[in-house]
Amino acid sequence: MSEIKDKILTEAEQLFMRYGFKSITMDDVARELGVSKKTLYQFFTDKNDLVNQCVSHHLDNMNILCCSVVDSKDLDAISVLLQISEKINVVIRHINPSSMFDLKKYFKGAWDKLEADRRSFIKKLIQDNIVFGVKNGLYRKDLDVDLVSRIYIYLVSFLINPDNYDKEEMDIKVMHLEIVKYHLRSICTAKGTALLEEKLLAIRNK
């Protein structure tokens, strides 16, 4: 990917997340980014194409972020999920709730990308984390790995699906941490629970 295209995707994504996908036009993107519309159309056929590529770009970056935590050799399974949650919350803290409503209603292809990522990448990440945690005595041995990962996926679906709650009630970063806490408390051993509460106390005291 060219440096110019990457810059456009990064800054356009921020615009869409802040103001919503429906209201921002190609003229707005060109003006806010300080580029000509001709430059935009060198890389994107229309706004729908720009939105689709922004979502793909966002998912790629989020998945790289998650993998960077997973690949940390000095982290236990609980710390991996808590650190991923912390890093994701930094990214999503400026998301306007209306952007998710816009995406699902007006850009089905881009919304489907989110759904596909949830069913594949996130599910595999949780399955691997469960196996890791069981191996180290932090998660219970009697867990059905596939079923538990599916339940987590449904929780994430609640987080990103705007049909599940009113806009006024939506605080993505708070809900995301609560989902991770709910998930971990349901699968931890006594040893894991003690470690989890220690980690959560450290988070609250930051």
Report yes or no: 168 and 111 within 8 Å, Cβ to Cβ.
Answer: no
Which residue in 73, 181, 58 sits closest to 136, CA to CA? 73
Look up the CATH architecture of domain 58-204. Orthogonal Bundle (1.10)
Can you give the pLDDT at residue 57? Answer: 94
Report yes or no: 187 and 204 within 8 Å, Cβ to Cβ.
Answer: no
Would you give the DSSP letter of residue 164? G
What CA–CA distance (Å, rounded) separates 70 from 89?
Answer: 17
Can you give the pLDDT at residue 206? Answer: 74
Q: Where are the extended beta strands (E) located within 36-166? A: none
pLDDT tens figures, 178-200: 899 999 999 999 999 999 999 99
Examine the pLDDT at 165 and tell me if it is beyond 60. Answer: no
Report yes or no: 25 and 32 within 8 Å, Cβ to Cβ.
Answer: no
What CA–CA distance (Å, rounded) separates 58 from 64?
Answer: 10
Can you give the pLDDT at residue 88? Answer: 84
Instruction: Using alpha carbons, list the distances in angstroms from residue 96 to 14, 18, 54, 99.
Output: 10, 5, 16, 6
Can you give the pLDDT at residue 164? Answer: 66
Domain residue limits, the chain: 58-204
Can you give the pLDDT at residue 24? Answer: 92
- Burial code (b: 16+ CB inside 10 Å, e: under 16) for 121-149 equals ebbebbbebbebbbeeebbbeebebeebb
pLDDT tens figures, 1-27: 688 899 999 999 999 988 889 999 999
What CA–CA distance (Å, rounded) separates 116 from 123?
Answer: 10
Can you give the pLDDT at residue 169? Answer: 58
